[in-house]
Amino acid sequence: MTSAPTTTTAGPLDVERLIQDLTLEEKASLTSGLDFWHTQPVERLGIGSVMVTDGPHGLRKQDTSADHLGLAESVPATCFPTAAALGSTWDVDLLRRVGSALGRETRANDVAVLLGPGINIKRSPLCGRNFEYFSEDPVVSGDLGAALIEGIQSEGVGTSLKHFAVNNQETDRMRVSADVDERTLREIYLTGFERAVTRAKPWTVMCAYNKVNGTYASEHPWLLTEVLRDEWGYDGVVVSDWGAVADRVPSLAAGLDLEMPNSGNIGDAQVVEAVRSGAMDEAVLDQAVRRLLTLLSRALPAAAEPSSYDAGAHHALAREAAAAGSVLLKNDPVDGTPLLPLRAADAAGVLVVGEFARTPRYQGAGSSQVNPTRLDDALTAIGEVAGADVSFAPGFTIEGVTEGSDEQLRDEAVEAARTATTVVVFLGLPAADESEGYDRDHLDLPDSQVALLQALAEVNPRLVVVLANGSAVALSGWEHLTPAVLETWLGGQAGGGAVADLLFGAQSPSGRLTETIPVSLRDTPAYGSFPGELGHVRYGEGVLVGYRYYDAKGMTVSYPFGHGLTYTSFEHTDVTATVSGEGDDVTVTVRARITNTGTVRGAEVVQVYVGDPESVVLRPERELKGFVKVSLEPGESREVEVVLDARDLSYWHPTLRAWTLEGGEFLVSVGASSRDLRATVSVDVTAPPLAAPLSDDSTFGEWLDHPVGGELLRAELARPETPGADDQGNLEIDETMAKMLLDMPVRVIANFAGMLFDRDGLARLLDQAQERSVRA
């Protein structure tokens, strides 16, 4: 497919010169859109306009009409698998290739910035937009997001990393305040963005609709400037989510450069007025204009060259990605052999059931909705891959698609199943269940589908369930009915072909879960606090999100984070973890030898988890810190390596407000899922002792544990007049009392007459602490 190039500007931009030449009104106009999808030009100075458009797993370029909900038609483009499926590939190289294909399509359609990827954390499986996000874990989200950005931007077009930040639900998304403590923000909700921003440098970052701790993300100086720019060194453009700006002046001041879409130029007038009245320094506006002109300059070279893409090759890549992102959850033996893969020789006896096999669910609704260049259905693809016509029964109704009643379709399917060699049942969530704009309120498949499965299981034990859904569904009520379950997520336009490849063993499944499948909704970490109420959602589970929560509670889950079966097997041996350096310079090199011990080619996702058994803060039992996907022939063996640094071992200290490494023992595990750890190695890491500032409100225990405070406190206790301590400063009181003391602020101790030290003693202690600079 080709399209003629358009020139977005008259020539290379001399950014600093233009800032001098632009009028105040022109500068203000540049900081909002021209219309729904274009930036504002200033023709007088040769500043052109560029188009930005959705994203994230395909191009949604609307030609004539515009909306942000995917309602109106867009140009045909490859619908790659959604992020739920791309995430499950755990394959950074593949994501770079998909990214580069997306970049080529973006470029061929004269679009400068593709609005994606979205890397918000899947806090609850109920979030209606989870299909657009990668994972419940920030390392997977950040690394896969970075890979996609690198791929897209390698083609000379930009990305928009979204939605920054803490946009983890659709309910009340345009107003709700996500109330989250800083440690949780840093460790869970910002880490993925930090990884993607610092590694891949997206041209733009899109701020979220919601508030973060009471302030709109679009007006959040801490988020948009302190963290994003000052700490992470981001120098690109911050664009609003569509309609996310409440008040332009505070937004601009907070670090938001571009309001999209155009909102009637009222904001521009407010910006002009704020500069004229002195309420806002013109330098703030100049800085935003500088970033916007730099963005236009970046877009110039690609826009100047004609470009095309090979739709057939992209369809094939979409098929490869959909296969790599499907997760084989279960594959129990029937008559002694795992049910999958099916043999092509048996294909003629296979019965395919389920309307989704003929009418695929392959993407979600909303702004990410793509108009695909082609659409594979699994039923046709199975026939092609297996080389035989398979029989089909719709099994249940889809509104507006299938004729008849659920009962009638179920009975027909059961009749056909009696004589089938194997029954492959396509189940999933109805399209209306998951979309941008609203959340689910349950995790269940429709009753009609479960009833169908029950009825089929009664007549034929050789049942394979193929699932299509954008976020986890509960399997606990029905999975005992079937020996095999293949989760395909929303696999994009070539998903049907990918399923056929997997079912008949043309490919070995290699996807792994990036989100835990819980037993029930009640088990989920945010149950009770999702989606919040009265304009607030409190992230009370803190850092215990996803597997961190299930592991902390020792809970049974249906399928753990990281899980996924293949048609082969892998051995992890020679696992070592070697420490070098210390403190901020420490590295831990983790190595493992992975061997394909089965009979077919396959890929293992080697996952490296770290746990810190002792810390002043509660740390998750284990956290993913790195991963490698390795593809091996039968019998082949390869050594993989993941290098961890100080940050990978650190936590965010809430009072020090810094990433903090506590020395001591760490447990490094290598595994095939968060609950299938093949080896755990203990390493000892050296780091300076923790030295949080002390005050009169710090406890006796905190003073004692402090490297300097402990020494000062012991000296004070060692004074001859101190009751209850010997001349070395050791306590001479009973154990219960000593235990109670540890928790008492030193000011309280000084107030109790006759207890260890009085107010004079406290004053001496605080003075000395001041002198040694350890007092807050």
> Minimum Å distance from CB 426 to ligand BGC?
29
Distance CA 217, CA 41 (A): 27
- Between CA 276 and CA 284, with CA 280 as vertex, the angle to 5 degrees is 115
Q: Across the chain, how many H-helices and E-strands are there?
A: 23, 30
Cα 248 versus chain centre, distance = 29
| 408 Cβ contact list (under 8 Å, min separation 6) | none
The strand order across the sheet containing 158-164 reads 52-54, 113-115, 158-164, 204-207, 237-240
| 547 Cβ contact list (under 8 Å, min separation 6) | 136, 137, 516, 557, 560, 561, 562, 674
C-beta of 162 vs 653, nearer to ligand BGC: 162
C-beta of 113 vs 285, nearer to ligand BGC: 113
Interface pick for ligand BGC out of 49, 54, 289, 549 (rule CB under 6 A): 54
Distance CA 240, CA 259 (A): 5
Distance CA 81, CA 89 (A): 10
C-beta of 239 vs 288, nearer to ligand BGC: 239
C-beta of 110 vs 241, nearer to ligand BGC: 241
- Between CA 101 and CA 104, with CA 102 as vertex, the angle to 5 degrees is 65
C-beta of 172 vs 523, nearer to ligand BGC: 172
Strands (E), 182-225: 204-207, 211-212, 215-216
Distance CA 490, CA 370 (A): 13
Interface pick for ligand BGC out of 108, 115, 254, 610 (rule CB under 6 A): 115
How many chain residues are in contact with ligand BGC, going by CB under 6 A?
A: 8
Strands (E), 633-693: 637-645, 651-653, 658-660, 664-673, 676-685
Map tokens 């806090």 to a residue.
Answer: 123
> Minimum Å distance from CB 469 to ligand BGC?
20
What does the buried/exposed string (b/e) look like for 241-263 if buried means 16 or more CB atoms within 10 Å of the residue's CB?
A: bbebbeebbbbbbbbbbbbbbbb
Strand 651-653 to strand 658-660: parallel, antiparallel, or no bridges (unpaired)?
A: antiparallel
> Minimum Å distance from CB 54 to ligand BGC?
5
Q: How far apart are the first and last CA of the chain?
A: 65
Assign 161 to helix, strand or coil: strand
Q: How far is CA 622 from CA 468, 551, 580, 589, in A?
A: 30, 8, 21, 17
> Minimum Å distance from CB 594 to ligand BGC?
38
C-beta of 242 vs 609, nearer to ligand BGC: 242
Binding string, residues 59-98; x marks residues near ligand BGC by CB under 6 A? ---------x------------------------------
Identify whether the C-beta of residue 192 lies closer than 8 Å to the C-beta of residue 162. Answer: no
Q: State yes or no: is 523 an active-site residue.
A: no
C-beta of 120 vs 397, nearer to ligand BGC: 120
> Minimum Å distance from CB 99 to ligand BGC?
17
C-beta of 71 vs 348, nearer to ligand BGC: 71
**Is residue 653 close enough to count as binding ligand BGC by CB under 6 A?**
no
Q: What's the residue count for the chain?
A: 776
> Minimum Å distance from CB 614 to ligand BGC?
42
Binding string, residues 238-267; x marks residues near ligand BGC by CB under 6 A? ---xx-------------------------
> Minimum Å distance from CB 437 to ligand BGC?
8
C-beta of 68 vs 563, nearer to ligand BGC: 68
Interface pick for ligand BGC out of 55, 428, 496, 532 (rule CB under 6 A): 55
> Minimum Å distance from CB 115 to ligand BGC?
4
Of 126, 499, 452, residue with least CA distance to 328:
499
Strands (E), 22-117: 52-54, 76-77, 113-115
Which residue among the candidates 241, 377, 406, 696 is catalytic per the annotation? 241
Assign 588 to helix, strand or coil: strand
C-beta of 61 vs 512, nearer to ligand BGC: 61
Q: How far is CA 540 from CA 123, 176, 526, 537, in A?
A: 11, 15, 8, 9
C-beta of 61 vs 162, nearer to ligand BGC: 162
> Minimum Å distance from CB 367 to ligand BGC?
3
Beta bridge partners of 536: 177, 533
By CB under 6 A, the residues from 130 to 169 that bind ligand BGC are 162
> Minimum Å distance from CB 227 to ligand BGC?
21
Binding string, residues 363-392; x marks residues near ligand BGC by CB under 6 A? ----x-------------------------
> Minimum Å distance from CB 162 to ligand BGC?
5
C-beta of 106 vs 367, nearer to ligand BGC: 367
Q: How far is CA 208 from CA 120, 161, 179, 572, 602, in A?
A: 10, 10, 14, 41, 39
| 416 Cβ contact list (under 8 Å, min separation 6) | 351, 353, 391, 393
Say which DSSP state 691 is in: -
Strand 463-468 to strand 371-372: parallel, antiparallel, or no bridges (unpaired)?
A: unpaired
| 9 Cβ contact list (under 8 Å, min separation 6) | 46, 47, 48, 296, 300
> Minimum Å distance from CB 767 to ligand BGC?
56
Which residues contact ligand BGC by CB under 6 A? 54-55, 68, 115, 162, 241-242, 367
Which active-site residues does the annotation give? 241
